[in-house]
Chains A and B, each alone.
Chain A
Amino acid sequence: MSIKKELLLLSRDIGGIVILFVMPMMLLIAVTMVQSGSFDSLLGTRMQVLLVDHDQDSISWRIRQSFANDGALELIDQLGGKPILESEAKGLVHQGDYQLAIVLPKDLSKDLQVHVKQNVSKILAEFDFSADTIRATGGHPVAAKEIKLYFDPATQAAFKTAVRMSIDKLVSNIETEAIYSTFQSELGEPGDSSFTEQQFISFKEMDDSANGRSVIPNAAQHNVPAWALFAIFFIVVPLSINIVKEKSQGTMVRISTSPTSYGTFLMGKTAGYLLVSLIQFYLMLLVGVYIFPYLGLQHFQVKGYFLLLSLIAFFSGLAAIGLGMLIGTIASTQEQSAPFGATLTVVLAAFGGVWVPVFLMPNIMQKLSVLSPMNWGLNAFYDVLLRNGGFKAILPAIILLFLFFILTLSIAIIYDKKKKTV
């Protein structure tokens, strides 16, 4: 009966229904579309870099080579079928069309060779292995060369540093090789067979998708559960308003004077709003599965996870309802409960990693994020979606969410009892 009443009340409030069901879906679509660009650059699609190549020799070849091996960057050296001019590249980057342009000066490879050769010969001459080499290669010292980098003014400093360092490393590798091979040829060694191009020290990134906590979701895998959680928790607002209304319209007096306890009364609300939060969740899933691909976004994979995802949504809903009932019980006016509930939800969402995924947060915030029940839910969703976790994996989160519900509900009931001693 009380469930029926809650659902009747909800169904007679069309504006409320729209806010509850449609707004979160719109939010999800909007945010995913806005974020998908930045998420993808962060998570794997390639960033385009302009190359103005006046060198056309071994160094430019090596740079192209290393860019081809790099998954994150894509080199573009032609626009409209023509080689890019420096002025053109500068303009495009300045406008923000591209984040980076690399300009290789003319004769870069050749002059590096000459420069290395001169130096090697000079050293060899000092050891006096064969005095005539100096004369042979002598001549004018070569002017220092510079590789120009144009960055989009909005580029992050960290990215600039990373690019500068990797190009620097590339050039010094080439320089080292040139020095080696010049020594070899000057000393008359048999040539390339003894020289290993292989780097002595290299790095290998370990993939720990099996058990680690550092798995990175794509935009859909993050946004669907994150915003579904946000929507679920946003029922704090209508629910707390609903309870405040019971007080302001006097119906709470009837409930308090009836043999039905406040706890039982709240359980009726819990059941009604739990249904609402599950519907919300499934609507969000539908958006992820059917509307995302339609909008050119990555589609959200539900297959095989449906039951676990529903379970997480169920307990997240309970936690949200507990919070809403507590706020509704303590607040005495809608003017208190609505802004407070909305702000608290947004803050918990921010802390919990809904807006910005936790792995992108500063260190301190990452530590604080565990305080938000939305973070427990989100992590459980990640466990299922990215780490292939089963029921066991999400059990701690579910227990935590349930305890949160019990705690908030108990405080609400105790507070209600206390209120009678005005």
Chain B
Amino acid sequence: MSKIVIHIDSLSKKYRGSQEFAVENLSLTIVQGEIFGLLGPNGAGKTTLISMLCGLITPSEGTFTIHDFSYHESPKQLKASIGVVPQDFALYPSLTAKENLCYFGSMYGLKGKMLGDKADAALASLGLAGYKDKQVGTFSGGMKRRINLLAAVLHEPAVLFLDEPTVGVDVHSKKAIMGYLLELNAQGTTIVYTSHHLQEAQEFCTRVGIIESGKLWRIGSPEALIASIPQANNLEDVFIDLTGRGFRDG
């Protein structure tokens, strides 16, 4: 049995002033080396769950640990071991690609020549070597997506959270990004990611969780989920079947 990396126990979040839970009583365990896909319609609670795991918002109830670290006891170690790729671009448009990467790398204690070399290597690995000294504000959406990803991995996190890393990009960028993530995974990085692309998730994930109204309705490998529904040929069929039944158990 692989090592447990993320352990979530009855986690809930109700935003202030809101009547409903954005995430409700959610428990989940993710082990080392997994590529875990959080799938669900808009407003399902994907970003809320990831935001709690990244320490951006505090849970209303429940607990979780990442590498046995919690935000209460050892926030610094926890944060040092994760990388976060936000749903929206999170870059300085007036800084160059390399300056952006170096700055964010420095937030994790990297510095000097080592930092510069890492940034160069990262840019090269996603085909951006020729653009490293150009301001990010002038980049295309696909290029920004790639920088957005690279800014989260320079410190070689053990767990990488990605919130819709391929939204709004063309096939080439998407391929480049997914290929890069598989490479990271092969080196041992555990990946937790959200997506609306069911086909992509089916090919990419070792395991998926289907979330709606803050609850996990199904969890398992794409193959197992497809097999669990008689007429289903792919994850999309599973999804439509679940939606059609209003996410009732059964």
Chain A residues with CB under 8 Å of chain B are 1-2, 5, 8-9, 12-13, 249-260, 420-422
Partner of A2, one of B84, B90, B94, B103: B103
Q: Looking at chain B, what size class is its interface with the partner chain?
A: 35 or more
Q: CB-nearest residue of chain A relative to B161?
A: A257
- State the CA gap A178–B145 with chains docked (Å): 99
Q: Does B127 contact A (CB under 8 A)?
A: no
- Tell whether, in the assembled complex, residue A8 and residue B16 are in contact, meaning their CB atoms are under 8 Å apart: no
Partner of B108, one of A12, A249, A258, A420: A258
Cβ-Cβ contact count across A and B, 8 Å cutoff: 80
In the complex, what's the smallest C-beta–C-beta distance from B162 to chain A, in angstroms? 12
20 A-B pairs besides A9-B95, A253-B54 with CB distance below 8 A are A1-B102, A1-B103, A1-B106, A2-B106, A8-B94, A13-B94, A249-B89, A249-B90, A249-B91, A249-B92, A250-B89, A250-B91, A253-B90, A254-B152, A258-B104, A259-B75, A259-B77, A259-B108, A420-B58, A422-B15
The verdict on A249 contacting B107 (CB below 8 Å), with A1-B102, A5-B99, A254-B86 known, is: no
The verdict on A9 contacting B92 (CB below 8 Å), with A254-B104, A257-B55, A259-B107 known, is: yes
Q: Which residues of B50-94 have CB atoms within 8 Å of chain A's CB atoms?
A: 54-58, 75-77, 79-80, 82, 84, 86, 88-94
Q: Does B151 contact A (CB under 8 A)?
A: yes
In the complex, what's the smallest C-beta–C-beta distance from B142 to chain A, in angstroms? 17
Q: Does B135 contact A (CB under 8 A)?
A: yes
The verdict on A253 contacting B106 (CB below 8 Å), with A420-B56, A421-B57 known, is: no
Partner of A259, one of B79, B84, B90, B94: B79
- State the CA gap A254–B106 with chains docked (Å): 12
Q: CB-nearest residue of chain A relative to B108?
A: A258
Q: Does B109 contact A (CB under 8 A)?
A: yes
- Tell whether, in the assembled complex, residue B82 and residue A257 are in contact, meaning their CB atoms are under 8 Å apart: yes
- Tell whether, in the assembled complex, residue B57 and residue A254 are in contact, meaning their CB atoms are under 8 Å apart: no
Across-interface contacts of B197 in A (CB, < 8 A) = none
- Tell whether, in the assembled complex, residue B92 and residue A5 are in contact, meaning their CB atoms are under 8 Å apart: yes
- State the CA gap A199–B139 with chains docked (Å): 87
**Closest 4 A-B residue pairs measured CB to CB?**
A250-B90, A1-B106, A258-B107, A12-B94
- Tell whether, in the assembled complex, residue B108 and residue A250 are in contact, meaning their CB atoms are under 8 Å apart: no
The verdict on A421 contacting B92 (CB below 8 Å), with A2-B103, A254-B84 known, is: no
Across-interface contacts of B175 in A (CB, < 8 A) = none
- State the CA gap A249–B109 with chains docked (Å): 23
- State the CA gap A13–B95 with chains docked (Å): 11
- State the CA gap A259–B83 with chains docked (Å): 11
Across-interface contacts of B109 in A (CB, < 8 A) = 259
The 27 sampled A-B contact pairs (Cβ below 8 Å) are: A1-B103, A1-B111, A5-B92, A5-B95, A8-B95, A9-B95, A249-B93, A250-B86, A250-B90, A251-B92, A253-B56, A254-B84, A254-B107, A254-B152, A256-B55, A256-B56, A257-B55, A257-B79, A258-B107, A258-B108, A259-B75, A259-B79, A420-B55, A420-B57, A421-B57, A422-B15, A422-B57
Q: Which residues of B153-188 have CB atoms within 8 Å of chain A's CB atoms?
A: none
- Tell whether, in the assembled complex, residue B57 and residue A251 are in contact, meaning their CB atoms are under 8 Å apart: no
- State the CA gap A1–B106 with chains docked (Å): 7
- Tell whether, in the assembled complex, residue A255 and residue B55 are in contact, meaning their CB atoms are under 8 Å apart: no
Across-interface contacts of A1 in B (CB, < 8 A) = 102-103, 106, 111
Partner of A12, one of B15, B57, B91, B95: B95
Across-interface contacts of B151 in A (CB, < 8 A) = 254
- State the CA gap A207–B9 with chains docked (Å): 77
In the complex, what's the smallest C-beta–C-beta distance from B80 to chain A, in angstroms? 5
Across-interface contacts of A253 in B (CB, < 8 A) = 54, 56, 84, 86, 90
Across-interface contacts of B103 in A (CB, < 8 A) = 1-2, 5
- State the CA gap A256–B55 with chains docked (Å): 8
